[in-house]
Chains A and B, each alone.
Chain A
Amino acid sequence: MSSNDEKKSRDEVLAAREAKKLSKQKAKNKGGVEVKKETIVDTHKSGIEKDNNFVNKNELEQQKVTSVNKCDVEPATSKGSTKCIDEVDRAAIKPVEVKLDEAKTKDEIKAERAAKKAAKQAKKRKDDKGDVAPVAAEMTVKDVVETLKDIANVAREVQNVTAKVQAISMEPKKVQSEDSGQSKAKLRAERRAKQEAQRAAKQATVQQQAVPTPKVDPKSKQVQSPESPKEDKIPKAKSVEKTLTKKSQSVNRVNWFEHLHMQHDKEYLTNIPINSNLHPAIIKLGVQLATRVVSGSNARCIALLDALKKMVREYSLPARTEFGRGLEAALGASLQYLWRLRQPSASQENAVKFLRHHITQLPNNVDEFDAKKTLQEEIDRYIKEQIDMAGQAISIAVREKISDGDNILTYGCSSLVERILREAWAGGVRFRAVVVGARGGGGGGARMLRRLRAHRVPCTYADITALSYVMKHVNKVIVGASALLVNGWVVAGAGTAQAALAARARNVPVLVACETHKFSERVQTDAFVYNEIGDPDELIDKSDSNSPLKDWRSNPNLTPLNLTYDVTPPSLVTAVVTELAILPCTSAPVVLRFKLSEYGV
């Protein structure tokens, strides 16, 4: 009871503030939706008892039920809002078929917490203006009721729009390479529409909809993860993870790879929960990563840093938040979204570590503009030093190992190896490149061939089945890497271990070109514990319309498996060329320690 009283006064104060704001902005008619949302949330939240600490779900549900059904024990404003809740509840429930009480409650909790904290702050700030409250409260209630009705209508309309949009996206999947640009734009448009819908839904209070289901339900709405940076995201994240793995399992029948990250097909992409707070560059990057438009560890790292730079530049700091913390939280949200779409590579992880380190290094009361400038400069410097100049240094180091008349074998596609070979050729060394690729996704050999030929490097091409045949005449093998692990194992595209084995069988030295920013703290000894599964359809011969595998999904016993990475043990690698030095593979931990000290970790 007492708490209710407290809340009463707080509510009144709150309501007064909000009413003021509302009237102002209504007059201006600008971003009305946003403000209304906050208003509604506040009034609603304040009507429900709860602790500041972790709340029992059931308790809450009870409370909600009581508040909805009995409509008692509420202060005047809250009563109004409770009634409003009722109305809105009913209004919002109609078009929706699926309701998950759990989720609703969780979302409610979060929204409540946010509102509560905001309320606290508001109270602290404007403690002295309590007298205006009652009048404002009156106004607020009426306004609120009206706006709520409007919003309910808007919500319904948006619902229909979303359904239509999703119906469009239900078209048959096309080959992603052909349609990547198109689908990206389409997806972005869809996402925008969904964001709008979500905002509307949130204003209509807390009738959040279902978590993305494995089967596409045309009527299902998107879940909005109502995050303010300080929220506790664990329960929400868990539910999403669960459905993620469920989906992977249903498509991936190779049970030893259950734990691995599965490349999502188009359907899943349309159902990803997104936060309206995410910067569009991040969203775009997420789609690009998921559809493998951006691939290759250097490219992914640069793309990530680019997007983060944009995000930093356009980051708007909420009031009374320290820049560092605010940015860190926004960063966390963005990264969570990205990693859900595609696992981070070691280069991306290190880049993020670097950025976080610099964020923490910002002085306490730094000016926002200065901070942003510093961070952007740091990012630029990172890209320039760690990727560009490192590549240059490696290229020079390797050039001494290539002599005239050599046959250099390379496997798969690596921007660094391409740079090495291109610059060696331009520098006058007359060698021959033997490019080995594999059919299906794992190869990339064909891409490498194209790039090298564009620079007039003489090439021979062979499929991976011809590896031992061509190895007879090869002098050296140079490959790129995705990551170098602490125990000395090299993570690279699937098939690299095969090339290293064949080279060892003929005593051909194997060089791995790897910048230090790809050194990772992980350890693994086989290709199973940590890997990615690519699109299984890539194994199927596209040119053949009668491929025996085309109906593999209907056959429970048949699964194509397309692994993305494999690991090569250090015994098969002669040397690792980094920008610091040419090292034996086993010296990776030394370099890593050196690097980590740079980050102050």
Chain B
Amino acid sequence: MKKEEVQDIFLKILREEEDVSAGVAAIKTLLTVIENYEVTTVRELDFNLQLAVDAMRNCDQPVTAISSGCELFMRFITFAKLDLRSFEECEQIMLQRGRIFLDTLLEARGKVAKQTLPFISDGCKILTHSRSRVVLQAMVEAARANKRFEVFVTMSCPDNSGELMHKQLVAAGIDATLILDSAVGYIMEQIDIVMVGAEGVTESGGIINKVGTYGLGIAALELKKPVYVLTESFKFSRIYPLNQRDLPKEFKYLSSVLKSGKDLAKQHPLVDYTPPAYITLLFTDLGILTPSAVSDELIKLYL
């Protein structure tokens, strides 16, 4: 199995299915790897999967979601290994569970959107940052439920993904306004709630998301606006950053940049870390959690 093949599969999935997030695509890739590449021992399988994960991390896609999704999948696989009969049976069980896992994950967004519904009241103004599919789905469902609200989307340089979000919102019939990243402080006093997605949820209960989320959180706390984070549960990861610099480098910079050996201090980071003090509630498919409950969940899983 070659790295490039894995990367091809991964990128193909991402290209074809617009709606799928990087984490889910990664898990799908891993499932494909199990299905297609013939191995005879568990060890070989492990090795393959490791290679696959490594490959995906190096293809210039946001690494945060990929890494947490894959980690969860690997853990999942570990459990399956306990029933040791024959390798083929083991593999079959793994595949089956893998598909269930994937199905559950695909439903996650719907659950999150449903939970968000009561929090969007008529006439409220929502501020969101960059592009998040979960937030988009939540808003579309709210609009379908005949709620009237206004959305402000930040442009979020450098890739201007906010513009795509804005286009999608308008297409769904929602009153959306595109604002500059720097206008966040200005607009904050008119806002009722802040809703953002997350690329990763850390053990401390904070989130890792597109750069600019931290500034948004600070402004919201100062002006006493609630910050709601919409995320699926597979994004929970075990890292515990102490501050911005403590974030792993692979998260912050593209792999190509890391490989090219440029001076990282002069590079723009892709993500930042928002500590749990700035987050009011996390809406996940496991329920509505306070930031302190995240750690509880992770402990239950890993310990």
Contacts and interface: CB of A to CB of B under 8 A. Distances in A.
Interface of A: 505-507
> Chain B interface secondary structure, helix, strand, loop or mixed?
loop
A145 to B, nearest CB: 86
A506 B189 CA distance: 10
Contacts, number: 5
Contacts of A507: 189, 223-224
Nearest to A507: B223
Interface string B221-247: 001100000000000000000000000
Contacts of B189: 507
Contacts of B224: 505-507
A507 B223 CA distance: 7
Interface of B: 189, 223-224
A contact patch SS: loop
Contacts of A506: 224
5 contacts: A505-B224, A506-B224, A507-B189, A507-B223, A507-B224
B225 to A, nearest CB: 9
B168 to A, nearest CB: 31
Contacts of B223: 507
Contacts of A505: 224
A547 B189 CA distance: 46
A217 to B, nearest CB: 61
B294 to A, nearest CB: 27
Nearest to B189: A507
A505 B223 CA distance: 9
A506 B226 CA distance: 12
B211 to A, nearest CB: 26
A505 B222 CA distance: 10
Nearest to B188: A507
A599 B252 CA distance: 65
A507 B224 CA distance: 8
Nearest to B222: A507
Nearest to A505: B224
B134 to A, nearest CB: 29
A507 B192 CA distance: 12
A391 B89 CA distance: 90
A264 B216 CA distance: 56
A506 B224 CA distance: 7
A404 B224 CA distance: 26
Nearest to A506: B224
A506 B223 CA distance: 8
A507 B189 CA distance: 8
A507 B188 CA distance: 11
A501 to B, nearest CB: 13
B218 to A, nearest CB: 15
A506 B192 CA distance: 11
B212 to A, nearest CB: 22
Nearest to B225: A507
A505 B224 CA distance: 7
B191 to A, nearest CB: 11
Nearest to A504: B224
B190 to A, nearest CB: 11
B152 to A, nearest CB: 17
B303 to A, nearest CB: 39
B26 to A, nearest CB: 42
Q: Which 5 A-B pairs have the closest CB atoms?
A: A507-B223, A507-B189, A507-B224, A505-B224, A506-B224
Nearest to B223: A507
A27 to B, nearest CB: 86
A160 to B, nearest CB: 71
B257 to A, nearest CB: 40
B13 to A, nearest CB: 46
B192 to A, nearest CB: 11
A26 to B, nearest CB: 84
B186 to A, nearest CB: 14
